[in-house]
């Protein structure tokens, strides 16, 4: 199953500045594993140390939040689109930057 | 005797001729009390359009001082305002645009101590603040005082807008149950933001406020509008109320304000 995945700007450094990439998998979990193969490091930004999706990031299949479907087991159809949407607080502040990125 | 002066009928004539607004709607706008959280990037365009629309009372809470680097996006302020309190600069800009508007200033930080008493005096809250502790504080206080929160946020080239209306839709905690851990949050200065972006998002917030006051159209309740300026992409996703939400769920566990800096693990900036 090939789906389009929209990448939020804080993660685009990892996807060669692409705002949308293609990934393969039958559910969200597989898509993220495929993304990690294509763009190493991305999974670290999406999952916490215990392997759970970070709670300040929401994942949507088309316009539905996967928390109200079957979370990472939510199944995908050809042509579906996945969006990764982080909480933003700005005036402009965000997240998804690792501590090392902050020591500019 | 008419509610309006001759001058007001002329000033608001483009509103009054809209059947969806009319004299009745304009009166509602002139009787409304709207509180703006921040006179910065988002608060600036929201304040200007709400003042122009004839909102009766606009409250502004901001303790910050105008800096040269604010002028790239905070259109309430000008060069002559550098060094002044943003609240006072905002007051002058609003008054010069529309002297009808009553402006109430709070030149202080929003805290767990003052938020409830401030919110109680308003119909709608426009959240344009710039940090996570305040976002959660505002959310919880809106639930506790039953105030609608017109939420906008921006980052670099992206913006988000939604309306959190207690009892009718989800709240901020349903959307984002937890803030990012401390250390994952860069400062605004480090991240940057396209100057016109808050203009778009703050203006969308003003539209939602006016719709809510007039009771027209379909407010952004239960929908999150996402705008990406680089791709010129507007999208919406559905937001659902989380029945397990600690504040607005069926069995709330947070019934009073908490320590939000501790909750977010970050200091204010």
Percent of chain B with pLDDT over 70: 95
Give me the domains of chain B, ranges plus CATH numbers.
Answer: 32-264 (3.40.50.720)
Reported as a pLDDT band with limits 50, 70 and 90, residue B266 is: low
Cα–Cα distance measured from residue A101 to residue A84, given in angstroms and rounded to the nearest whole number: 20
Contact A65 B239 (CB under 8 A): yes
pLDDT of residue A100: 33
Cα–Cα distance measured from residue A78 to residue A26, given in angstroms and rounded to the nearest whole number: 9
pLDDT of residue B115: 96
pLDDT of residue B155: 87
Contact B154 A92 (CB under 8 A): yes
pLDDT of residue B184: 62
B207 to chain A, any CB pair closer than 8 A? The answer is no
B178 to chain A, any CB pair closer than 8 A? The answer is yes
Residues B86-95 as b/e (b if ≥16 CB within 10 A, e otherwise) read bbbbbbbbbe
Is the pLDDT at A104 greater than 90, yes or no? no
Is the pLDDT at A4 greater than 70, yes or no? yes
Weakest mean pLDDT among A40-54, B75-89, B174-188: B174-188
Q: Which residues pair with A75 in a beta bridge?
A: A27
B184 to chain A, any CB pair closer than 8 A? The answer is yes
Contact B40 A56 (CB under 8 A): no
CB interface of A with B, residues 40-59, below 8 Å: 54-56, 58
Cα–Cα distance measured from residue B149 to residue A64, given in angstroms and rounded to the nearest whole number: 22
Reported as a pLDDT band with limits 50, 70 and 90, residue B65 is: very high
pLDDT of residue B189: 60
Mean pLDDT of B140-157: 95
pLDDT of residue A95: 33
* Mean pLDDT computed over every residue of chain B: 93
Contact A94 B130 (CB under 8 A): no
Reported as a pLDDT band with limits 50, 70 and 90, residue B182 is: low
pLDDT of residue A15: 95
Is the pLDDT at A101 greater than 70, yes or no? no
| Alpha-carbon distance A75 to nearest alpha carbon in chain B (angstroms) | 18
Reported as a pLDDT band with limits 50, 70 and 90, residue B188 is: low
pLDDT of residue B180: 81
Query: What is the token pair recorded at A17?
Result: 């500045």
Contact A96 B180 (CB under 8 A): yes
Is the pLDDT at B167 greater than 70, yes or no? yes
Q: Which residues pair with A84 in a beta bridge?
A: A59
Q: Which of B153, B187, B237 sits opposite A88 (nearest CB)?
A: B153
Contact B179 A104 (CB under 8 A): no
Mean pLDDT of B2-6: 94
pLDDT of residue B130: 81
B256 to chain A, any CB pair closer than 8 A? The answer is no
Q: Which of B154, B178, B187 sits opposite A55 (nearest CB)?
A: B178
Model pLDDT for residues B198-249, shown as the tens digit of each residue: 999 999 999 999 999 999 999 999 999 999 999 999 999 999 999 999 999 9
- B252 alpha carbon, distance to own chain's centre: 25
Model pLDDT for residues A26-37, shown as the tens digit of each residue: 999 999 999 999
CATH for A2-102, among 1.10.10.10, 3.10.20.30, 3.40.50.300, 3.20.20.70? 3.10.20.30
Q: Which of B158, B239, B242 sits opposite A88 (nearest CB)?
A: B158
pLDDT of residue B156: 87
pLDDT of residue B257: 92
Q: Which of B42, B176, B192 sits opposite A56 (nearest CB)?
A: B176
Mean pLDDT of B78-89: 98
Residue with tokens 């309190």: B85
Is the pLDDT at B261 greater than 80, yes or no? yes
CB interface of B with A, residues 93-122, below 8 Å: none
A96 Cβ neighbours under 8 A, 6+ residues apart = A8, A10, A11, A45, A57, A86, B180, B184
Contact B191 A85 (CB under 8 A): no
Reported as a pLDDT band with limits 50, 70 and 90, residue A89 is: confident
| Alpha-carbon distance A44 to nearest alpha carbon in chain B (angstroms) | 12
More confident site: A49 or B249? B249
B216 to chain A, any CB pair closer than 8 A? The answer is no
Is the pLDDT at B141 greater than 70, yes or no? yes
Cα–Cα distance measured from residue B112 to residue B136, given in angstroms and rounded to the nearest whole number: 11
Residues of chain B contacting A9 with CB distance shorter than 8 Å: 155-158
Mean pLDDT of B24-42: 97
- B207 membership: H or E segment, kind and range: helix B197-214
């Amino acid at each position: 199953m090939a789906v389009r995945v929209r990448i939020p700007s804080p993660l685009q450094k990892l996807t060669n500045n692409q705002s949308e990439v293609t990934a393969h998998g039958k559910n969200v979990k597989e898509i993220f594993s495929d993304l990690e193969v294509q763009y190493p490091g991305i999974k670290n930004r999406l999952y916490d140390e215990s392997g759970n999706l970070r709670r300040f990031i929401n994942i949507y299949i088309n316009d539905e939040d996967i928390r109200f479907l079957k979370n990472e087991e939510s199944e995908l159809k050809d042509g579906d689109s996945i969006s990764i949407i982080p909480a933003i607080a700005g005036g402009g502040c965000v997240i998804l930057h690792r501590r090392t990125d902050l020591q500019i | 005797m008419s509610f309006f002066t001759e001058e007001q009928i002329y000033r608001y004539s483009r509103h009054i001729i809209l059947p969806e607004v009319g004299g009745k709607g304009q009166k509602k706008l002139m009787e409304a009390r709207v509180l703006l959280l921040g006179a910065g990037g988002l608060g600036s365009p929201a304040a200007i359009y709400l003042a122009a629309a004839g909102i009766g009372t606009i409250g502004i809470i901001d303790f910050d001082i105008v800096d040269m680097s604010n002028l790239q996006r905070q259109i309430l302020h000008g060069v002559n305002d550098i060094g002044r309190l943003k609240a006072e600069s905002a007051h002058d800009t609003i008054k010069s645009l529309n002297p009808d508007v009553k402006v109430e200033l709070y030149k202080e930080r929003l805290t767990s101590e003052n938020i409830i008493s401030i919110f109680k005096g308003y119909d709608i809250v426009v959240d344009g603040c710039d940090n996570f502790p305040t976002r959660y504080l505002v959310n919880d206080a809106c639930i506790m005082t039953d105030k609608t929160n017109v939420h906008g946020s921006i980052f670099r080239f992206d913006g988000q807008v939604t309306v959190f209306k207690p009892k009718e839709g989800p709240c901020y905690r349903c959307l984002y149950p937890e803030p990012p851990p401390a250390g994952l949050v860069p400062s605004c200065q480090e991240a940057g933001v396209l100057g016109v972006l808050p203009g778009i998002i703050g203006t969308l917030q003003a539209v939602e406020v006016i719709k809510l006051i007039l009771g027209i159209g379909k407010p952004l309740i239960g929908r999150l509008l996402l705008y990406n300026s680089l791709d010129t992409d507007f999208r919406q996703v559905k937001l659902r109320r989380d029945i397990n939400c600690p504040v607005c769920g069926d069995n709330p566990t947070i019934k009073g304000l908490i320590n939000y800096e501790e909750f977010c693990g970050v200091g204010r900036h």
